[in-house]
Structure 1
Amino acid sequence: MLQTVSPRANPPRLCFIGFGEAGQAFAGGLLEAGIVEISAFDIAGTQERVRKPAERLGVRLTNSLDAALAGADFVFSAVTAADSLDAARQVAPRLVSGQVFVDVNSVSPGRKREAAAAFAAPGAYLDLAIMAPVHPKRHATPCLVAGEAAERFIEIFGGFGMELGPAGPQIGSATIIKMVRSVMVKGLEALTYECFMAARVAGIDPLILDSLGRSYPGLDWPKVVPYNVSRMLQHGVRRAAEMREVALTLRELGIDPAVTEGVVLQQERLGRLPLQAEPEDGLAMLDAVRSALNRQASEPS
């Protein structure tokens, strides 16, 4: 009688190119789930913000791309949107037979297809889209996977607790779902900020909360507002980069990204403020944002 061998019996060796928030979250969760060996390479080198998490998690942080890739079965690219194509092109000629490049970066379908073109071997490139914030679920955050090797990837990493859905064999089929969804998700954050900053300045925020609560009773606006604004403050720069890719995606579809381009500006503006805020701060965080923007405007350019 044939028996199915669990992936845990022979866990794959992983490499992360880029070891920021997403890389650290996935690596930490996968190590706890049974992955044994993970290496990483980051352009930040051995700076404390990369070195300390690697040491804490037990990830082998290397000083060179070649050293990180050596022996890895799957190579996760978790760099910035701007660096994603360059990372793929640097890794592609270094891959050996059997290694798979997993592109988790938030970029347009066209950019992922361009990256995939650098990989000659069939199934050597996978398009993975992370569909929710990586905390608190880390590696179990819902993801979509597209590419020739998608089913094999899902079978292996599903055994380690990853929540993976197939998006088809065509590269770009996963990321386009994320890109189009982000029009709403990141756009709603920016609209929330703009609406309630105006309400706060006008002194009518309680009235706006009440009115929206009546129109959209399913949303807890006193919690939604500070959560959305805090996300912009914490991750606005990265979100702005993603929304540039969303705008590119819309153009690839023949759609004018007029609203999305405004979202880019608001996300980046808040993301560059030297503020730390948590949802528990409530609408008072808008006062801190306004003060910071006023100080910024008064500084000599």
Structure 2
Amino acid sequence: MTTQIAMIGFGEAATAFVSGWALDDPARITAFDVKSTMPTQMAAMAAKQAGLGVTGAPDLAQALADADLVFCLITADRAAEAAEAAAASGALKPGALWLDGNSCAPETKRQAAIAITGAGAHYIDMAIMAPVHPKKHLVPIKLAAAKADAAAVALASLGMQPEVVGDQVGDASTIKMLRSVMIKGLEALVAECFLSARRAGVEQQVIASLEASDPDIAWRTRGAYNIERMVVHGARRAAEMREVAKTVAGLGLSPGLSQATAAWQDIVAATHADPGDDDLIGRLDRVLARL
């Protein structure tokens, strides 16, 4: 594998991909994360990058230098800004594929695409359709753009399994955004229902009623998982849901539920509660203690 890869953002998705690829020459991957510029976090980020054998870059331009594939895996609220910064840096290789895997509204991705294509690279709307763990690089991915087929070939060479869903930027992200109405919305419903029930002292009765009504759902397990996801990733999920609300509003519909979901994601994430073990009641108590 001779392709030079740049990772913009080196969080959960980026590390999952790199560890899944298990390349013989991981030094061909250069990574830049904004945490590398923060005195309190740069050492930990450098250790994470070194642990996977990738080359850490001190800034965006050095990460982009000579990269054929650029994976932008940051947060939804910074995706367009990152694309514009990359274009302005002058370091994007002509013809490089910019794979925007951030959970953004189609409008946001089209804004980012203008910057990338203006710099002579090719913008790819990439939607990551499920949690990256445990599947890592085998997580379902949808691609859309004029060069989506070329991007699919490049990802397949890394052992990934992308699906091309359209030739227009936004074709993939629309699917991702509307799926998130349900997935992240269920998390918010679980939080509001279970936290309220626990505070009222009726959680056992509420759970029993849910189990009787919907026996196919393991409510205790689902609830514990959803609370853990919100505690650990709620800030990122809130940013995504604001993009979801933008998508729904752009379709001429009310985004009220998506806006409320973003609010709940922010609330739970802001507690910085310890997810602890897999026990639902323990997780609810730790979150409630910080509300």
Q: CA RMSD in A?
A: 1.9
Tell whether the 8 Å contact from 2:211 to 2:219 is kept in structure 1 after alignment: yes
Which has the higher Rg, Structure 1 or Structure 2?
1
Give the aligned partner of residue 110 of structure 1.
107
- SS of equivalent to 2:143: strand
Letter in 1 for 2:168: Q
**50, 57, 60: which one pairs with 1:62?**
57
CA drift of 1:203 comes to: 2.4
Tell whether the 8 Å contact from 1:20 to 1:50 is kept in structure 2 after alignment: no
Give the aligned partner of residue 172 of structure 2.
174
**183, 188, 196: which one pairs with 1:190?**
188
Letter in 2 for 1:106: S
CA drift of 1:232 comes to: 0.7
Tell me which moved more, 159-168 or 255-264.
Answer: 159-168
CA drift of 1:30 comes to: 2.1
CA drift of 1:278 comes to: 4.3
- Mapped to 2, the partners of 1:154 and 1:103 lie a distance apart of 13
How many residues are matched?
284
Change beyond 3 A, Cα 1:121–1:42: closer
- 1:271 partnered with 2:269: yes
**125, 131, 145: which one pairs with 2:143?**
145
Q: 1:1-301, aligned counterparts within 5 Å?
A: 10-32=1-23, 37-45=28-36, 47-93=42-88, 94=90, 95-118=92-115, 119-120=117-118, 124-278=122-276, 280-293=278-291
Letter in 2 for 1:105: N
Tell me the alpha carbon deviations over residues 168-219 of structure 1, each in whole angstroms, 9 at most, x when there is no partner.
1000111111111111101100101111122222322222222211221211
Tell me which moved more, 170-179 or 193-202.
Answer: 193-202
- SS of equivalent to 2:36: coil
- SS of equivalent to 2:77: coil
Letter in 2 for 1:285: R
- Mapped to 1, the partners of 2:63 and 2:26 lie a distance apart of 16
CA drift of 1:64 comes to: 2.4
Letter in 1 for 2:68: D
Letter in 2 for 1:207: Q
TM-score, length-normalised on structure 2?
0.91
Q: Unmatched 5+ residue regions in structure 1?
A: 1-9, 294-301
- Aligned residues with identical type, % of pairs: 40
Tell me the alpha carbon deviations over residues 218-271 of structure 1, each in whole angstroms, 9 at most, x when there is no partner.
111111111111111111111111111111111111111111111111100110
Change beyond 3 A, Cα 1:253–1:278: farther
Letter in 2 for 1:242: E
Letter in 1 for 2:227: V
Q: Unmatched 5+ residue regions in structure 2?
A: none
Letter in 2 for 1:212: L
- SS of equivalent to 2:204: helix
Change beyond 3 A, Cα 1:288–1:100: same
